[in-house]
Structure 1
Amino acid sequence: MLSYNFTKKIAVKILAIFSFITLSLNAYAEINNKICLILDKGGKDDKSFNQSAYEGFLKAQSDFKLSKESKYVTVKEDSQSTHFVRTLSNGDCGLIIAVGFNNADVVEKMAKKFPKQKYVLVDSSVKAENIRSISFQEHEGSFLIGAIAAMKSKTNHIGFIGGMEIPLIKRFALGYKSGAEYINPKIKITETYVGVSPTAWNNPTKAKELALSMYNQDNDIIFVAAGASSQGVFDAVAEVSKKNSKKKNYVIGVDSNQNYLQPGLVLTSMEKKVSVKIYAAIKDFIENKFSTGVIRYGFDNDGVNWAYDKYNEPLFTLQERDKIDNIRKNIISHKIKVPDFYQVGK
């Protein structure tokens, strides 16, 4: 027969195990799994940054048991940003994800008023105990894109069209310029912006006008970082290519893989892995592993990359792909030091 003390020890261990399991289940059950996503002005159909964020949100809804009340809203006017963040911060949403530079200041202010609310801020670097700031090393990705543009340009004249003229987009531009000059120090680069207000993210007509002017001035490749306005540049490259099929003009997409938008005319895209990182943030939250702080994603942790797929594969030789890959590796190892507008532009 088992001794009384031995039996008692087993009972105590079993009770401890059950208590641990019960506490773990209760902790999981207490997680508010209603996830709320705030998109910037470009909206979920911008074929770029916001769409990538929305796709990460949808995948999380499919893979995890999120509340059926999980939702997304889109900021269409500046005042709506404050309204949405304040309204959703009343404790109804377990996690609030705000996308874009234009939502950063509002989230920072509201995070102080609602210290128990958890936030994910995408594309900004705000330090707070209840915010996970996801930022991307777009200057690294843009450097590689600039190098690719310089490799492929026949006119030695390339362009950059940004959306709103802000430091974030200046960071793209400087990286692009530096990468192009790394390949060809004598290359000419034209840099311009759709505007200086948030409406610049959703003005494809103006972006098309700028792009047509650039193409007509011998820029044969344009890198565009302008949110929903970027569609105007894709329209422009199709128009000029139709008028003169012998002259090769290209556009370079941004944020998500946009190679499919004008097959054969999109040289590549500078991808930010927005959908992947939003999905990971939701996964961490649901699994009670959510951490806050500023997280920077570059080449070394799968945050940015150039898009290479069936749509642009015919445009690159094996030697060019090897050269591109070596530049990427040298950025990761810091053999190539990419200038950062956040540091040198101040």
Structure 2
Amino acid sequence: MSKCQLLPHSLWRDYPGNAHRSMRSVLCLFLLACCLLVSPARAVTDFGVIYSGQKDDRVFNSMVVSAIGRFEYQDKVNFRQRVIVEQQDSADAIRAFVERGITTLVLVGFIHEQALQEMAPRYPHARFTIIDGNVTASNVRAIRFREQEAGFLAGMAAAYASRAARVGFIGAVATPPVQRFGCGFIQGVKQARPMPVLARYMTTNMDGFRDRRLARNVASDMLAEGADVIFPAAGLASRDALLAAAQAGKYGIGVDSDQEDLAPGHIVTTAVKRIDVAVTVALRELIDGTWKPGNIEMGIAEGGVDWVRTGADRFLSEQQISAIEAAKAKITAGRLKVVAREPACEQHGVIPEPSGGRSDGGPSIPSP
């Protein structure tokens, strides 16, 4: 039975002949228009999401899981998710999704850069979004962050909180995002209260992000050298470095997502990188049809990075918190430029060379 037949006969029974048929046609057209207005504008879409490392890492990937969960509920979007362990597995994961007909992919982490740069031209009909990576192709949207801005604010907080007048930065490996965190951190220390900064990378390969034992050892060595506040930018392994600091009665700076609950009373602040915001932006563009290829950066002004003020008053005075907030406002307005790239950092004398993968983390390098 048609929807028009469901209309009450009384609506047209008093119209004779052609008038009867005309009225019925008008009502059918009206009902059809109403149906079109309430019908969804798009079909449910399948998305592929590729992680690396551990999906529930309580740091980086966990923010992505939270973001896509909201889209599953609100937009009725289906996500097919896959986790890789080794960098060389990224290309296989991309190929598997596309050959199954899932051609809208979100790749989480710079670990996918090399594979995506190679695979994107092979699948010109697919659309790729890489979060925290830098890939240029006609079918790739790359969203990266100005980590140096969050690192700068965290560096100021670390310098203010340090009683020993010596702090430390630990990077898992010398990737661009980690370098930007470290570069900003050491500049922030110099801005707030110049003091020696012990800075080192754990290793020269991606294992540093999941080598929890090495992170703990490097942190313990750094604390033994006199640092009383450390900032580990090492993904999942950061947690063990922070726990080592807490167990030694010292303090740490969290990374990516708020880590105050990891060791209450020992986390000064967190250099936040809002992966969830980037994923939300990317998915909303894809769903709304506004997605386009190209590279974008997210810093403080765009809501991509920040510092966590909650709990900082345990370690910092109101005057010190105000100074950090003032620096944040200047960065947002473009009146304070935080150096990002390693060559520029070297000119400022604020970034160390990689340690070469030594198990002891390499030598300490004090800032000027």
- TM-score interval (norm. to shorter): 0.7 to 0.9
- How many Å separate the matches in 2 of 1:342 and 1:296? 17
Distance in 2 between residues matched to 1:137 and 1:211, nearest whole Å: 25
- Note the C-alpha offset of 1:136: 0.5
Map residues 104-115 of structure 1 onto 2, 5 A cutoff. Answer: 104-115=113-124
Alpha-carbon distance, 1:238 to partner:
2.5
Matched, 1:250 2:251: yes
Q: Please, which runs of 5 or more residues in structure 1 have no aligned partner?
A: 1-10, 242-248
- Are the counterparts in 1 of residues 146 and 340 from structure 2 also a CA contact under 8 Å? no
CA deviation vs aligned residue, 1:270-291 (integer Å, no higher than 9, x gap): 1111112202221221222222
1:143, CA displacement in angstroms?
Answer: 1.1
What is the alpha-carbon distance in structure 2 between the residues aligned to residue 178 and residue 156 of structure 1? 15
Q: Is the 8 A contact 1:252 1:270 kept in 2?
A: yes
1:28 aligns to what?
A: 42
**Which amino acid in structure 2 is aligned with residue 299 of structure 1?**
I
Does the CA contact (< 8 Å) of 1:28 and 1:288 recur in 2? no
Q: How does 1:206-285 map to 2 (within 5 A)?
A: 206-241=214-249, 249-285=250-286
Residue aligned with 1:267, SS: strand
1:244 aligns to what?
A: none
CA contact (8 A) 1:59 1:279 kept: no
Quote the residue 2:98 is aligned against: 89
Letter in 2 for 1:327: A
Unaligned stretches of 5+ residues in structure 2: 1-24, 347-368
Aligned twin of 1:199: 207
- In structure 1, what residue type is equivalent to 2:113? A
Give the 5 Å matches for 1:1-346.
28-29=42-43, 33-41=45-53, 43-67=54-78, 70-90=79-99, 92-185=101-194, 187-241=195-249, 249-309=250-310, 311-341=311-341, 344=344
CA RMSD of aligned residues (A): 2.7
How many residues are treated as equivalent by the alignment?
322
Report what 2:351 is aligned to: none
Question: CA separation in 1, counterparts of 2:73 and 2:342?
Answer: 37
CA distance in 1, matches of 2:336, 2:319: 20
Shift of 1:25: 6.4
Cα distance change on mapping 1:181 and 1:161 into 2, 3 Å: same
What residue identity is the alignment partner of 2:85?
A: K
Contact 2:156 2:189 survives alignment (8 Å): yes
Shift of 1:142: 0.7
Deviation at 1:147, TM superposition (A): 1.2
Residues 162 and 193 in structure 1, CA contact (< 8 A), matched pair in contact too:
yes
Change (3 A) 1:122 1:160: same
CA contact (8 A) 2:133 2:143 kept: yes
Task: Give the match's secondary structure for 1:134.
Answer: strand
Deviations for 1:302-337, whole angstroms, at most 9, x for unmatched residues?
11000122x444333322221111010111223222
Percent identity, aligned pairs only? 26
Give, in whole Å, the separation in 2 of the partners of 1:283 and 1:24.
21
CA distance in 2, matches of 1:275, 1:189: 31
Shift of 1:192: 1.2
Can you list the C-alpha shifts for 1:51-80, whole angstroms capped at 9, x where unaligned?
Answer: 22222122222221112xx22111112332
Change (3 A) 1:94 1:27: farther
CA contact under 8 A between 1:33 and 1:94: conserved in structure 2? no
Q: 1:7: which partner in 2?
A: none
> Post-superposition shift, 1:26?
8.3
The answer to whether the 8 Å contact 1:166/1:196 transfers is: no
Q: Deviations over 1:121-141 (max 9, x none)?
A: 011122222111110000111
Q: Give the Cα–Cα distance (whole angstroms) in 2 for the partners of residues 93 and 344 of structure 1.
A: 41
The CA deviation at 1:22 is: 6.0
SS in structure 2 at match of 1:181? helix
Alpha-carbon offset, residue 194 of structure 1:
1.9
Distance 2:327 2:312 in 1: 19
Alpha-carbon distance in 2 for matches of 1:94, 1:59: 21
Cα distance in 2 for partners of 1:312, 1:335 equals 25
- Please, which moves more after superposition, 43-52 or 205-214? 43-52
- 1:48 Cα deviation (Å)? 1.3
Letter of the 1:240 counterpart: A
- Residue number in structure 1 paired with 2:13: none
Tell whether the 8 Å contact from 2:59 to 2:257 is kept in structure 1 after alignment. Answer: yes
The answer to whether the Cα contact below 8 Å between 1:263 and 1:312 also exists between their aligned partners in 2 is: no
User: Post-superposition shift, 1:145?
Assistant: 1.0
